[in-house]
Amino acid sequence: MSLNKYSEKRNFSSTNEPKAEIGSLKNELIFVVQKHAASHLHYDFRLEMEGVLKSWAIPKGPSMNPADKRLAIMVEDHPYSYKDFEGIIPEGNYGAGKVIVWDYGAYTLAENPEKVENRFNEGLIKGHLNFVLKGNKLKGEFSLVKLKGKQENAWLLIKKNDEFAEKNDILRQDKSVISNQKLEDLFG
Ligand code: MN
């Protein structure tokens, strides 16, 4: 796991985003979803692994409906401390725009809980991760499945059909789980 790409894209004298530091591992692995109004509105889905946040940009955002397959573009690893970041990335910086923490919580890999790092890395190589989210909004089992023969780094985020699956649009719950603010209400 490396944060080199993260650092290369950013000038930390000009953006208030967290610096590239590997985080301390806690008992629980966490996930975070950030709503990010950059040049295009998207949602950044991040899973903690080995002290960093593995990250995917989801143009249409996550869905609780198993019939929806949401394109998720794998992007550079982000530092663990990015989990709390919300605010405004100033003009001229990479990803300039507003960010809120749309959802946050613990996650576990689906199936047996041993050797999580190994299984996560196997899943990344295989292009198939199954995990269970315990967020405020996103709950239950999901899969990330890599598209084969398509654009590099293109995955699909898919809700598994379990007790938490629903057809209502979860994105209508549009407030930050940290500040309780809507992205539109963030000021510079
Ligand atoms: Mn983003």
Distance 152 CA to ligand 1 centre (A): 18
Domain of residue 145, residue span: 4-183
Q: How far is CA 30 from the centre of its chain?
A: 10
What is this structure's pTM?
0.93
Strands 139-146 and 128-135: antiparallel
Q: In this model, does residue 56 exceed pLDDT 90?
A: yes
Q: DSSP strand E in 16-168: where? A: 29-37, 41-49, 52-58, 69-79, 87-89, 97-109, 128-135, 139-146, 154-159
Q: In this model, does residue 188 exceed pLDDT 60?
A: no
Distance 43 CA to ligand 1 centre (A): 6
Between CA 120 and CA 139 the distance in angstroms is 19
104, part of any domain: yes
16, part of any domain: yes
Average pLDDT over all residues of the chain: 93
93, part of any domain: yes
> How many other C-beta atoms can be found within 10 angstroms of the C-beta atom of residue 114?
8
Q: In this model, does residue 137 exceed pLDDT 60?
A: yes
66, part of any domain: yes
Q: In this model, does residue 91 exceed pLDDT 60?
A: yes
Distance 5 CA to ligand 1 centre (A): 14
126, part of any domain: yes
Residue with tokens 């963030």: 186
pLDDT at 60: 98
For residues 47-59, b (16+ Cβ closer than 10 Å) or e, as one string? Answer: bbbeebbbbbbbe
Residues at Cβ < 5 Å from ligand 1 ion: 36, 44
Distance 106 CA to ligand 1 centre (A): 21
Distance 25 CA to ligand 1 centre (A): 24
148, part of any domain: yes
Number of structural domains, the chain? 1
pLDDT at 25: 64
110, part of any domain: yes
